Amino acid sequence: MVPLGPPGTMRGMSDQENPTDVPADGPDLAGRADLMEKVVGLCKRRGLIFQSADIYGGFRSTYDYGPLGVNLLRNVKNAWWEAMVQRRDDVVGLDAAILSPPAVWAASGHLANFSDPLVDCRSCHQRWREDKIDGVCPSCGSTEFTEARAFNLMFKTHAGPVEDEGAVAYLRPETAQGMFTNFANVLQTTRKKPPFGIAQVGKSFRNEITPQNFVFRTREFEQMEMEFFVPPDDAQTWFEYWLAERHRWYLDLGIPEDQIRLRHHEASELAHYSAGTADVEFLFPWGWDELEGIANRGSFDLHAHAEASGERLEYFDQAAGERYTPHVIEPAAGATRTMMAFLLSAYHEDEVGGEARTVLRLHPKLAPYQVGVLPLSKKETLEPLARQVLASLQPHFMCDYDTTQSIGKRYRRQDEVGTPWCVTIDFDSLEDGAVTVRDRDTTEQSRIPIDDLVADLRRRMDAV
Ligand code: ATP
């Protein structure tokens, strides 16, 4: 999001506590202090998220999404795209370049203002983001710091073989500007008219001073952003509409009501051009923190780019015979951060048949695998039928095929990564042409004819 606060103030000077502190009170926090450790452990153990460049000792604050993590992250982004683009006729998609020229960031205000307050500890010389440390050096405990100075968070590079000023380029720190710079292109090519939106999912880069809390705050991350262009008089109505829509999206995908909330910004937190901003917050183990910001940005962005580029970024309303600059409502979410919230809220430990198990109660749409296909025995007699069942499911669902160890252990392994249904092929299957479908949450098992399997699983999926 473009610089918070009035011009000249620094980004992110908000009301957040030090994110490593777990507040003593607050809803449902009891027993969650170790949740982070458990989820991070599970992510590493099961191939959801790896430390980047692990074999070289790791590269701080960058992560690689492993075989299961890439499925989960993709499902989060697909669920967003489905809700924001596929199921609507008033929003279109975009995939803009990550590399961009300084002119874009000069106009947007990022070159001047996209900064955090940086201080050096006078004792151990470590650098910190001032608003995150409560006046005490997390490394040595000193309370003596240098004056805060604005540290710009954009990654600067050079495009082409000459490293001079004329070749400077930036890695985008947000996806949003691509929607503003393409406003006229999209308007002309799609014949959309306000109210309409442009949506984008993709990587963004911020040279965060203190990346922390696993994938919550990293230097390279993914965002899911939409700019919704509206007639100025309708902006407040659409702002409220998007607040409700975005809040509901998280609930629909299984985040419990007491772990998600909307928090309206105080007037002092608002950007000078903003007529209103609210965050969707999730109850992380360290307290409430932001998943998404939804802002009523007025005409700030289109005006800024129109002025800097000399292009007309307006809409001509033929019926009314008037030309105007649309106002913008922006729901801006983090895909990687949201994936982490889904993992935290899905993580459960319970008992099945007197045995402890870990289960990710992920929404089936999000789960890395929807179906685990498990032949009861490795014997060659079951293999051809099991592979046939697998092949019949693969066009419809992301499947895992697992033949190792006992069936009980295989169920536990699927539970631990959130696979909602396991399909077991046993020796009776050869006779009756049916398989056993086991439900992750209830552990109930039912016998289903192989011919009905796809329809049965689809019904279960639609019923969630
Ligand atoms: P914060 O205050 O946490 O730094 P922000 O208010 O600057 O975030 P926005 O610019 O509004 O964030 O970006 C929209 C969303 O992008 C955030 O709500 C968050 O989900 C995600 N996001 C922003 N920065 C990061 C980051 N460094 N790592 C992971 N996700 C991020």
The pLDDT value given to residue 210: 86
Residue 197 has pLDDT above 80, yes or no: yes
DSSP characters over 57-115: T--TT-EEE-HHHHHHHHHHHHHHHIIIIIT-SSEEE----SEE-HHHHHHHTHHHH-E
* CA–CA distances in Å: residue 26 to residues 29, 36, 43, 166, 285: 6, 17, 27, 52, 11
Residue-wise over 37-48: b if at least 16 C-beta within 10 A, else e? eebbebbeebeb
pTM of the full predicted structure? 0.91
Structure tokens at 247: 């809040």
Ligand 1 atom with least separation from CA of 14: 2
- Side-chain-side CA neighbours of residue 165 (13 Å): 1
Residue 290 has pLDDT above 80, yes or no: yes
> Helices 335-346 and 35-45, interaxial angle, to 10°?
110
Q: Report residues whose beta carbon is within 6 angstroms of any ligand 1 atom.
A: 1, 12, 174, 206, 208, 217-218, 221, 223, 290-293, 332-334, 336-337
Structure tokens at 15: 């009301």
Lowest mean pLDDT among 153-167, 191-205, 215-229, 355-369: 153-167
| Closest residue CA from atom 2 of ligand 1 | 12
Q: First and final CA of the chain: distance in angstroms?
A: 34
* Helix ranges (DSSP H) in 310-363: 335-346
> Helices 335-346 and 67-81, interaxial angle, to 10°?
110
Query: What are the residues facing 294 on neighbouring strands?
Result: 278, 331
* Helix ranges (DSSP H) in 347-397: 383-393
Q: Which of 217, 260, 342 to mutate to test the pocket of ligand 1 (most atoms within 8 A of CB)?
A: 217
* Helix ranges (DSSP H) in 263-406: 300-309, 335-346, 383-393
* C-alpha to C-alpha distance for 429 and 433, rounded to whole angstroms: 5
Percent of the chain residues topping a pLDDT of 70: 93
Please give the average per-residue pLDDT across 186-203, as a whole number.
Answer: 96
| Closest residue CA from atom 23 of ligand 1 | 334
* C-alpha to C-alpha distance for 265 and 275, rounded to whole angstroms: 10
The pLDDT value given to residue 27: 46
Extents of the domains making up the chain = 15-36+66-106+171-343, 369-463
Structure tokens at 241: 């509409």
Q: What is the DSSP pairing of strand 434-439 with strand 421-425?
A: antiparallel
Ligand 1 atom with least separation from CA of 280: 18
The answer to whether the beta carbons of residues 312 and 185 sit under 8 Å apart is no
The pLDDT value given to residue 5: 34
How high does pLDDT run on average in the chain? 91
Superfamily, domain 15-36+66-106+171-343: Bira Bifunctional Protein; Domain 2 (3.30.930.10)
The pLDDT value given to residue 31: 54
Peptide bond into 232 cis (omega under 30): no
| Closest residue CA from atom 18 of ligand 1 | 292
**Among candidates 323, 366, 320, which has minimal Cα distance to 343?**
366
* C-alpha to C-alpha distance for 32 and 55, rounded to whole angstroms: 31
Q: Which of 76, 223, 246 to mutate to test the pocket of ligand 1 (most atoms within 8 A of CB)?
A: 223
| Closest residue CA from atom 3 of ligand 1 | 290
369-463 classified as CATH 3.40.50.800:
yes
Q: Which of 16, 284, 337, 338 to mutate to test the pocket of ligand 1 (most atoms within 8 A of CB)?
A: 337
